Amino acid sequence: MKTSESEIIHIQQHAAEKYVNDIYETIKQRNPNENEFLQAVKEILDSLLPVFMKHPKYMENGILERITEPERLIIFRVPWVDDNGKVRVNRGFRVQFNSSIGPYKGGLRFHPTVNASIIKFLGFEQIFKNALTGLPIGGGKGGSDFDPKGKSDGEIMRFCQSFMTELCNYIGPDVDVPAGDIGVSAREIGYLFGQYKRIRGGYQAGVITGKGLAYGGSLTRKEATGYGTVYFVEEMLNNSGLTFKGSTVVVSGSGNVSIYAIEKAAQLGATVVACSDSNGYIYDPLGINLSTVKRLKEVERKRIKEYINVHPHAKYVEGCSNIWAIPCDIALPCATQNEIDINSAKLLIENGVKAIGEGANMPSTLEAIELFLQQKVLFGPGKAVNAGGVAVSALEMSQNSMRLSWTFEEVDEKLKEIMKNIYQKSVKCSEEFGHPNNLVVGANIAGFLTVAEAMLAHGII
Ligand code: NDP
């Protein structure tokens, strides 16, 4: 008896689901208690089902088994001495997840919540994000449970020097190129680069990105993640006949990504009415005054609540998660992972949100994403939306190799083009694999196909 087409599809689907489920069970057993890592893996595995149904070759050669296991995870002791002469010890991490398409590339996070699960989730996501940029960079990430808050400049410098003294054994311009992330900005990058240079005894500018302009940094790198987020979301909005112009926007966080997302959204004619830090949020119906936020956060390193001392008409509310109760057209979560849970998602939808753009990494829980997609809210996933930062980091590496510097406008133009391409690639893959308008599936598949092709070419390594 001949098997019908629908029966074949059913058999293929069953085979793909069993393959993915079996692998996920093994990953769960091998990485117990690593909830963030498992969440990131689950999202990718679920969205790859249509690939395995359409191209069973990707179920061979252990692509999925290999791509979910880091090539290397380095954990090290970071001893340093505080201003009172007391010895402190933190833990350092670097995950070198996948180097199929280029040297490992991904930021360093200094935050008390950092652990192996957080670093592995970030490194895993980075593989697909970096592939999406179309640039030759593999996936990596690192950091420490060190808390920079409240530390003196001297303490930050001594910590960074100790951290780099160990990390320098594993990185290099063609091997692994770190950058900033939460808690690591220009100041920390300067100390890290200085120590690398001192130990290695040569000027290898391409070993780290996010450098200051005086010593090999790229114009537009500081702005890249925030601007890129807004460029991506503007593409997504335009495709549905919407725009930033005239819309109300809420941005969480008030760090590097948030500040430049606010700046670009305002330049495009939006009113950004709220932003936050880990203590609480400010609401300014007239539109956030960005010079004040920049001064408080980039220069004085103060808390966001100080904003109301300068702008008394604004309101400060304790507790940062409540920010999603503010009605807005566009929400840009730019602070940290899992900041939008199912309850925040429901509030946003009830209040009429039209689009979400994830400037942070994995800021929405799996349940929240499912609800946004179900309710037809335009949803731009972090891997695609915030890829502008790493893309300009790769452009910084190019400029370092060529020993020249592009202008702000040149880099900004390239960034715009890259974000547009990422959007188009994600849309194309979502349609080609039967999930139109689902950019989560589209972005994951587009990133995966590039890396998988390279892994197939390299053999079983
Ligand atoms: P910053 O350290 O510059 O800023 C982080 C902001 O988020 C701060 O306002 C911080 O508040 C807040 N925040 C941090 N942790 C928490 C928490 N647990 N709960 C609530 N608020 C929190 O980091 P970035 O702007 O660089 O990074 C923000 C996000 O964007 C991260 O998810 C990062 O991985 C992602 N990202 C960053 C890129 C970059 O180029 N910088 C590139 C791609 C993604 P407080 O000061 O009180 O801690």
**Which pair of tokens denotes residue 443?**
């972005």
Residue 6 has pLDDT above 90, yes or no: no
Average pLDDT, the chain: 97
Residue 49 has pLDDT above 80, yes or no: yes
Question: What residue owns the CA closest to ligand 1's atom 48?
Answer: 278
Helix spans in 311-438 (H): 342-350, 366-374, 382-385, 388-402, 408-432
Catalytic, 141? Answer yes
**CATH 3.40.50.720 residue spans of the chain:** 222-380
78/118 Cα distance (integer angstroms): 18
pLDDT of residue 60: 86
Question: What residue owns the CA closest to ligand 1's atom 41?
Answer: 181
For 167-196, what is the mean pLDDT?
98
pLDDT of residue 244: 98
Non-local CB neighbours of 89 within 8 Å, separated by 6+ positions: 77, 78, 79, 80
Of the options 3.40.50.10860, 3.40.1160.10, 3.30.750.24, 3.10.420.10, the CATH number for the domain spanning 72-204 = 3.40.50.10860
- Ligand 1: atom nearest CA of 277 is 11
CB-count burial class (<10 Å; 0-12, 13-18, 19+) for 359: buried
Q: Which residue has the tokens 């960074």?
A: 160
**CATH 3.40.50.10860 residue spans of the chain:** 72-204
What's the pLDDT band for 50 if we cut at 50, 70, 90?
Answer: very high
pTM of the model: 0.97
List the helix and strand counts (H, then E) for the chain. 16, 12
What's the pLDDT band for 12 if we cut at 50, 70, 90?
Answer: confident
pLDDT of residue 293: 98
**CATH 1.10.285 residue spans of the chain:** 5-68
Q: Report long-range pairs for 399-402 (Cβ below 8 Å, ≥24 apart).
A: 399/216, 399/218, 400/173, 400/205, 400/206, 400/216, 401/173, 401/206
Measured in whole angstroms, the distance separating CA 203 from the mean position of its chain's CA atoms is: 28
Residue 353 has pLDDT above 90, yes or no: yes
- Ligand 1: atom nearest CA of 259 is 25
Using DSSP's 3-state secondary structure scheme, residue 447 falls into: helix
Tell me what percent of the residues of the chain surpass a pLDDT of 90.
Answer: 95
Q: What is the CATH number of domain 5-68?
A: 1.10.285
What does the longest C-alpha to C-alpha distance in the chain come to?
Answer: 82
Using DSSP's 3-state secondary structure scheme, residue 177 falls into: strand
Residue 7 has pLDDT above 80, yes or no: yes
For 411-416, what is the mean pLDDT?
98
**Thinking of the domain 222-380, which architecture would CATH place it in?**
3-Layer(aba) Sandwich (3.40)
Residue 1 has pLDDT above 70, yes or no: no
Q: What is the DSSP letter of 90?
A: E
For 58-79, what is the mean pLDDT?
96
**From the candidates 129, 141, 197, 222, which is the catalytic residue?**
141
- Nearest to 170, CA basis, from 114, 237, 109, 99: 99
What's the pLDDT band for 258 if we cut at 50, 70, 90?
Answer: very high
Residue 196 has pLDDT above 80, yes or no: yes
b/e 165-184 (16+ beta carbons within 10 angstroms → b): bebbebbeeeebbbbbbbbb
For 367-396, what is the mean pLDDT?
98
Non-local CB neighbours of 279 within 8 Å, separated by 6+ positions: 303, 304, 305, 318, 320
pLDDT of residue 132: 98
Give the N- to C-terminal CA distance of the chain in Å, as an integer: 42
Pocket residue to mutate for ligand 1, from 105, 184, 220, 256, most atoms within 8 A of Cβ: 256
28/22 Cα distance (integer angstroms): 10
The number of residues in the chain equals: 461
Question: What residue owns the CA closest to ligand 1's atom 7?
Answer: 335
Tell me what percent of the residues of the chain surpass a pLDDT of 70.
Answer: 100
Residues touching ligand 1 (Cβ under 6 Å) are 180-183, 185, 225, 253-258, 277-279, 320, 334-336, 359-361, 386, 389
Chain segment 218-232, per-residue pLDDT in tens? 999 999 999 999 999
pLDDT of residue 5: 81
- Measure Cα distances from 193 to 41, 44, 186 in Å: 32, 34, 10
- Ligand 1: atom nearest CA of 113 is 18
Using DSSP bridges, classify how beta strands 378-380 and 355-357 pair: parallel, antiparallel or unpaired: parallel
b/e 256-277 (16+ beta carbons within 10 angstroms → b): bbbbbbbbbbbebebbbbbbbb
For 318-345, what is the mean pLDDT?
97
